[in-house]
Chains A and B, each alone.
Chain A
Amino acid sequence: MSELNTLTLAQARDALRKGETTSVALTEACLAAIEGAGALNAFVHKTPEIALERARAADARLQSGDAPKMCGLPIGIKDLFCTRGVPSQAASRILEGFKPEYESTVSQQLADAGAVMLGKLNMDEFAMGSSNETSCYGNAVNPWRRGNEDTPLTPGGSSGGSAAAVAADLCLAATGTDTGGSIRQPAAFTGITGIKPTYGRCSRWGIVAFASSLDQAGPMTKDVRDAAIMLEAMCGHDPKDSTSADLAVPDFEAMLTGDIRGKKIGIPREYRMDGMPAEIEKLWTDGAAMLKEAGAQIVDISLPHTKYALPTYYVIAPAEASSNLARYDGVRYGHRAKLAKGDGITEMYEKTRAEGFGHEVQRRVMVGTYVLSAGFYDAYYNRARKVRTLIKKDFEDVFAAGIDAILTPATPSAAFGLGEMTDADPVQMYLNDVFTVTVNLAGLPGVAVPAGLDQQGLPLGLQLIGRPWEEGDLLNTAYALEQAAGFLAKPGKWW
């Protein structure tokens, strides 16, 4: 058998059930890979004791024939998820030292399914960023490099540590969260698969909130089958999240037939951006040809409000963030600033938040405060909520016309160099999410699938967008695309 940490969830699951390996062996292989991958800065809190304890318990359950679906499979958890007794700080200084007394619903469900937590993964602070450069832990680094260059590249963000860890085989899979593209963009930048399910599929309880009407958790995995396996374990109704959907969770893996004959795939003309690199354009055309070859019908469609998605997002997300992040006040948890003589409670709030929040987080909280403030609420926030209604209606119209899924590029470029965007204005960085953010605004499921390499040898991804609650059908289309694209490349190990 190949190195245990390089297995997919499905391969490892099958090997465990055949008695060809043990969860302890899988876990030790991953822990060794993590120890050797400090240069990637992907795992920021390691939990080897918890991992080995859970692995031993999983082996006992496998022995006794009482093994749940993900029994014994080692995974990483994004730092945004609260994990009992383990630092959970959303990559922010303001949550330094915070060890939750409770477990997020999603990470609990994964544990209940038998998964083994290896540790917590790097990310952009409070999930605000597209390059993992706003983290208090420092940058996570992409295991991929351009040709023979040694320029460190971004793994994308905000789930950059999760993407780097999965791509570098430090864990079999990882959790991510996606508010504007934070699962799909890093998945595309690192040649892995990532799905953001329909809003309401996964409970948000215990996940540090960024923008509550957009945030969703999802799996980041080595292939589509693994995404189906892990998504099933993460989904389900939770009375502790009032927006969690009380719907049955299907067996997503059983729906992967690869048969997409007769499916209608929409190609939205508004996603053909000015200045889009020829390689991205070609990838997209090739992807459509592959789906057609597999028996799908390709249809040109229009989503007329696409160009307003990013500005809408940059009103709604900061507005919700300014409200959600009001809780970091230095009173109940995390950092509190040292106060000068005579400082009162207002100075405590102001100094604590200035010291605890990084630059990008401060900027978004303040933009959110501004768009919600008296006199601007209607002009900005209410108008953005109306445009959001129109963006969602664009999708409803094409689905009503019989479209089953929509194919788009996942990102406007391949991974860029860490620091390359430092001098760009914030809006330039925001453009990374141009193809993904519409999906969050409309609450739809979206999946990024690796589909090719660019001329410099970096992975590029395609995105499929599905109908609400039809993740199973969406994953099946992604499976057909994966099989046709045949993407098997791995980054050469330099770390």
Chain B
Amino acid sequence: MSIDQNTAAKVAKLARIKVEEEALPALASEFNTILGFIEQLAEVDVEGVEPMVSVTPMRLKRRTDVVTDGNMQAKVLANAPDAREGFFAVPKVVE
């Protein structure tokens, strides 16, 4: 499997990271190095092996489905780059 510039551009888009056109060849080449390394996994016989879901064989704790926290609008917004009238503000999404 070899990654070309178009695939690199597509991955960057999916990851929502702007990559300039001229940086794509180097990026594709780095991906290929890493994926070449990962490719070794194809040698392993994984027939009938369950994919790991949890490394510790224990049932996750459950709790009653009730509100345990809240009423901290100011704290939630305290670190926002742009907060107005009690909300996060972003560029216009809907025309």
Q: How many A-B residue pairs have CB under 8 A?
A: 168
Interface string of B1-23 (1 = CB under 8 A from A): 00100011001101111110000
Question: A269 on the interface (CB 8 Å rule)?
Answer: no
Which chain A positions have C-beta within 8 A of B52? Answer: 385-386, 388-389, 392
Interface residue from A350, A388, A389, A468 paired with B18 (Cβ < 8 Å): A350
Q: Are B14 and A369 in contact (CB under 8 A)?
A: yes
Interface residue from B8, B18, B30, B37 paired with A351 (Cβ < 8 Å): B18
Which chain B positions have C-beta within 8 A of A315? Answer: 38, 41
Least CB separation from A362: chain B residue = B17
Expressed in whole angstroms, the Cα–Cα distance for A427 and B11 within the complex equals 20
What are 10 A-B pairs with beta-carbon distances under 8 A? A311-B37, A383-B42, A384-B38, A385-B51, A386-B52, A387-B49, A389-B49, A389-B51, A392-B55, A427-B33
- Min CB–CB distance A215 → chain B (angstroms): 11
Question: B67 on the interface (CB 8 Å rule)?
Answer: no
Interface positions, chain B 13-58, Cβ under 8 Å from A, are 14-19, 27, 30-31, 33-35, 37-44, 46, 49-56, 58
Expressed in whole angstroms, the Cα–Cα distance for A307 and B39 within the complex equals 12
Question: B75 on the interface (CB 8 Å rule)?
Answer: yes
Expressed in whole angstroms, the Cα–Cα distance for A366 and B28 within the complex equals 11
Per the CB 8 Å criterion, the residue count for chain B at the interface is 51
Which chain B positions have C-beta within 8 A of A308? Answer: 40-41, 43-44
Least CB separation from A336: chain B residue = B81
Interface residue from A200, A339, A369 paired with B91 (Cβ < 8 Å): A339
Which chain A positions have C-beta within 8 A of B61? Answer: 239, 242, 246
Given A348-B90, A387-B44, A389-B50; A370-B11 close (CB under 8 Å): yes
Expressed in whole angstroms, the Cα–Cα distance for A200 and B54 within the complex equals 11
- Min CB–CB distance A399 → chain B (angstroms): 13
Question: A18 on the interface (CB 8 Å rule)?
Answer: no
Q: Are A97 and B79 in contact (CB under 8 A)?
A: yes
Question: Size class of A's contact patch?
Answer: 35 or more
Least CB separation from B68: chain A residue = A239
Question: A50 on the interface (CB 8 Å rule)?
Answer: no
Expressed in whole angstroms, the Cα–Cα distance for A380 and B36 within the complex equals 12
Interface positions, chain A 341-370, Cβ under 8 Å from B, are 343-351, 353-354, 357, 362-363, 365-367, 369-370
Expressed in whole angstroms, the Cα–Cα distance for A349 and B78 within the complex equals 20
Which chain B positions have C-beta within 8 A of A348? Answer: 90-91
Question: B65 on the interface (CB 8 Å rule)?
Answer: no
Question: Chain A CB within 10 Å — which of B19, B46, B63, B75 has the most?
Answer: B46
Interface residue from B8, B34, B44 paired with A314 (Cβ < 8 Å): B34
Question: A322 on the interface (CB 8 Å rule)?
Answer: yes
Question: A335 on the interface (CB 8 Å rule)?
Answer: yes
